[in-house]
Amino acid sequence: AQTVTQSQPEMSVQEAETVTLSCTYDTSESDYYLFWYKQPPSRQMILVIRQEAYKQQNATENRFSVNFQKAAKSFSLKISDSQLGDAAMYFCAYRSAGGVKIIFGKGTRLHILP
Amino acid sequence: GAGVSQSPRYKVAKRGQDVALRCDPISGHVSLFWYQQALGQGPEFLTYFQNEAQLDKSGLPSDRFFAERPEGSVSTLKIQRTQQEDSAVYLCASSLDADIYGYTFGSGTRLTVV
């Protein structure tokens, strides 16, 4: 069975600085998707970034980028120029390429210090 | 509608009471998912519909949980004889094509069983 592990329950970063959230996963599959979701107090899960496992190039979305290390089964999220609105829970997630279920980690709460 | 709508936003139930949680997916989305998010945890898969067919209910924790989507649009998650361990946020998500468009989540229903 696939598992997703986030080892940092909470992190803090100064506004305008850069922060990296860690995620490792376990799978025997070769084709899958990885995601980072943001969950603000409104509770809605918002997709931040997604990575296809077959793509070697790391995904980027504006201030958000990932470091995808397939052999190490590592998928970290880097947030550059942190803003107050980035404060939220961040979940790393996995989905098999041929499946529909998303498997989430336990989340990392990110605090932005003004 | 523009997004996935869930109601009620909050529900307090006395232990032993039956509850019904509603999800209105985005119009035209064929896939619909229910997730359970306990306090301080990541969401966990409950069940999945494609149109009106419930294709996977492997995540439903007990036979007290029942989900339906009779006309392939609105879905209801019913919990009978609620227990304290059922307290959680119940998230609904819908998708037109997960590989292309991903999932859109609602803001969830927070259920508290007292």
Q: Given the structure tokens 């989507």, which residue do they identify?
A: B69
**Gap from B45 CA to chain A (nearest CA, Å):** 7
Cis geometry, peptide bond prior to residue B61 (ω within 30 degrees of 0): no
Confidence of residue B102 (pLDDT cuts 50, 70, 90): confident
Residue of A nearest to B33 (CA): A101
The count of CB pairs under 8 A between chains A and B is 49
Q: How far is B43 from chain A (nearest CA, A)?
A: 6
Contact between A4 and B48 using a beta-carbon 8 Å cutoff: no
Q: Do B31 and A101 touch (CB under 8 A)?
A: no
Residue A54: other Cβ atoms inside 10 A: 11
Q: Which two tokens stand for residue B80?
A: 């009978």
What's residue B98's pLDDT? Answer: 78
Is A33's pLDDT higher than 70? yes
CB–CB contact B93 A50 (8 Å) = no
pLDDT band at B12 (very low <50, low <70, confident <90, very high): very high
Burial classification of residue B18, based on how many CB atoms lie within 10 Å of its CB (0-12 exposed, 13-18 middle, 19 or more buried)? exposed
Tell me the CATH number at B31.
2.60.40.10
**Paired tokens of A49:** 């970034």
What is the tally of structural domains in chain B?
1
Q: Identify the structural domains of chain A with CATH numbers, from first to last.
A: 3-113 (2.60.40.10)
Q: Do the Cβ atoms of B73 and B23 come closer than 8 Å?
A: no
Mutate to test the interface with A, among B105, B109, B110 (most CBs of A within 10 A): B105
Q: Which domain range does residue B29 map to?
A: 5-113
Q: Alpha-carbon distance B65 to B57, whole Å?
A: 10
Cα angle value A95/A98/A102 (rounded, 5°): 20
Residues of chain A with pLDDT > 90: what percent? 94
The CA dihedral of B29, B35, B39, B41, to the nearest 10 degrees, is -100
Q: Are strands B10-13 and B109-113 parallel, antiparallel or unpaired?
A: parallel
B101 has a pLDDT exceeding 90: no
Longest C-alpha distance within chain B, in Å?
A: 42
Residue B72: φ, ψ to 5°:
75, 15
pLDDT range class, residue A13, cuts 50, 70, 90: very high
CB contact under 8 A, A107 and B91: no
Q: Average pLDDT of A88-94?
A: 97
Return the percentage of chain B with pLDDT > 70, whole number: 99
Using CA atoms, how far apart are residues B23 and B94, in angstroms rounded to an integer?
9
Task: Reply yes or no on whether the pLDDT at B52 is more than 80.
Answer: yes
Using the predicted structure, report yes or no on whether residue A98 has a pLDDT greater than 90: no
Residue B62: count of CB within 10 angstroms of its CB: 11
Confidence (pLDDT) at B1:
54
Whether residue A45 and residue B89 make contact (CB cut-off 8 A), yes or no, is no
Dihedral sign for Cα atoms in the order A24, A96, B67, B80: negative
Q: How far apart are CA A25 and CA A17, in angstroms?
A: 27
Q: What is the mean pLDDT of residues A32-48?
A: 94
> What would the DSSP string read from start to end of B48-76?
EEETTEEEE-TT--STTEEEE-TTSS-EE
* CB contact (8 A) between residue B56 and residue A45: no
